[in-house]
Amino acid sequence: MSLTGKTVTSIFYTGSTKLVQRGLGMISMLILARILTPEDFGLVSICTLAVFLFNSLSDVGAKQYIIRAKQIDDDLINTAWTLNILIKGVIWLIFFIFTPEIAVFMDKPEIETPLRFLSVILVVGLISNPGIWLFSRDLNYKPLFKIDITSKLISFTTVLVIAYFDRTYWAMLYGLVLQYLLPSIFSNFVCTHRRKFKLSNIGSQVRFSQWVVINSLVGFARGEGDSILVAKYFNLDMIGVYSIFKSLSSMPLSQLINPATDPLLATFSEAIRDDDFQPYQMNTVLLLLLSLVVPLTAMMAYFDKEIVLLMLGEKWVEHSYIFSILAFMMVPGVLFKVLSEYVMAEGGYKPIVFYQVSMTLITLGILYLIIGGNLEEFSQTRVLISVVSILIFATYFQLKYKLFKFSDMFLFALPLVSAGAATLCLEGLDLTQLHWLSRLILGCSVFSLVYVVMLLTLVYLNRKRYECKLFLSYIGAVKSFARRKSSNKQ
């Protein structure tokens, strides 16, 4: 098979794997939220944060090293496997010995036993056959697809069965361990590589591993730094609330927007290589994404109680205001995704790393200073920092690349104006007397109708702009596609 064919097939299998894993993960979380308590989620959140922090320290990048190596042999693979065993084994031993101290540091003595059990995650990968890395190197993702999907289905079923009968946080802990253990076991059935302890030319692998560990730690701190502070300074109930609402509020971004924008780096890179990139391309992408994210954010914030009731159940409604606050993280998130993809397409990896490290340190510093307040203030500050951060990054972006004009701000404001008009319409309706589900369905329907009509009207009035013409043409293409599908069914 040609390289192009292998690449397309690999994208299909990796995309399908992510889709199934994320889908089952979301379903599992929503079901467990109705069975377990916020305290259960809080305890599991603390344990996973601690274990995955140490997992970041033990990630030596053996798989990445094998994939990028120009030439490989058994000695190279076995050396990577040996280094992996040594580092993970030492990190696990340190973690296991100092588990009581970690529990004391977090001021949560009840997490000591769950921590020790979950620490198995750090070492279960050691029983994996290192030959599994060669599948990724050769772009042969079909065996990996089978292993990952089978493992996820087994762990998903196990979690729900245990949770139904036991109704404790142990269901989630068993599921997490199985999620890491099963792929390691299954790898031995599809790989024939003979493992041997080897330390040939280990120096180059160690140098490579240093950067992998640093990158893993930076990524962990950026994504979970706020959760660590919550885990340290709030009670289990509030930790569980913050953890699940953070996951729920980011679902549209992580499950829909980010996968849809993954091709942006390749698209921008190709246009830049061909010296064919035009500012209207960036504007059109931003307009399309904001047209999706802004109304989603508005509806999540406005119908926070109803959405929480629908997705999680009554025990979470008391703190639904946290969900409405964290929903506003989506807009800065999607803006950074698009702008950073362009910067990387221009070869600007260093500015991205510098920005992420700097903003992570500043964010954690500010959040640490306000510790002592309630979770609502903490969440509001987290969102405010995200907004200020993206404004700083956008300012750097404009000074560096000068892609935007002042009139573009009016273009990007169209979704905001439309969402504002739709929200005002909701304020004019008295939906309080309706059942919460009827209120959610009717309210979202009215909001969506007003928003779409308002947005299309504003875009049509600005049709002299090329971005608006493209926007309308995309809408027309979607309508034509829908008509063809409906006619084919008839």
Answer whether residue 261 shows pLDDT above 70: no
Domain boundaries, the chain: 3-230, 250-480
Query: Of all residues in the chain, what percent carry a pLDDT higher than 70?
Result: 92
Instruction: Check residue 419 and give its pLDDT.
Output: 97
Rounded to an integer, what distance in angstroms lies between the CA atom of residue 283 and that of residue 285?
A: 6
What average pLDDT score do residues 223-228 get?
91
Question: Can you give the pLDDT at residue 213?
Answer: 81
Q: What percent of the chain has pLDDT over 90?
A: 53
Can you give the pLDDT at residue 23? 85
CA-CA distances (angstroms) from residue 75 to 66, 80, 138?
11, 9, 18
Task: For residue 105, give the amino acid letter.
Answer: F
Average pLDDT, rounded, for the chain = 87
Q: Dihedral angle at the C-alpha atoms of 342, 348, 353, 354, nearest 10 degrees?
A: -110
pLDDT class of 486 with cuts at 50, 70, 90? low
pLDDT in tens, 335-356: 998 898 888 778 766 788 788 8
Identify the DSSP state of 371. B
Angstrom distances, CA of residue 327 to CA of 251, 323, 333, 379, 411: 10, 6, 11, 10, 23
| pLDDT at 266 (0 to 100) | 58
Other CB atoms within a 10 A radius of the CB of residue 174 amount to 19
Mean pLDDT of 124-129: 86
373 phi/psi in degrees, rounded to 5:
-85, -165
CB of 243 closer than 8 Å to CB of 251: no
* pLDDT (0 to 100) of residue 335: 93
- The model's pLDDT over 186-225, given as tens digits with 9 standing for 90+, comes to 999 988 888 888 887 788 778 878 777 887 888 888 889 9
Q: Average pLDDT of 160-180?
A: 92
Using a 10 angstrom Cβ sphere, with 0-12 exposed, 13-18 middle and 19 or more buried, the burial of residue 382 is: buried
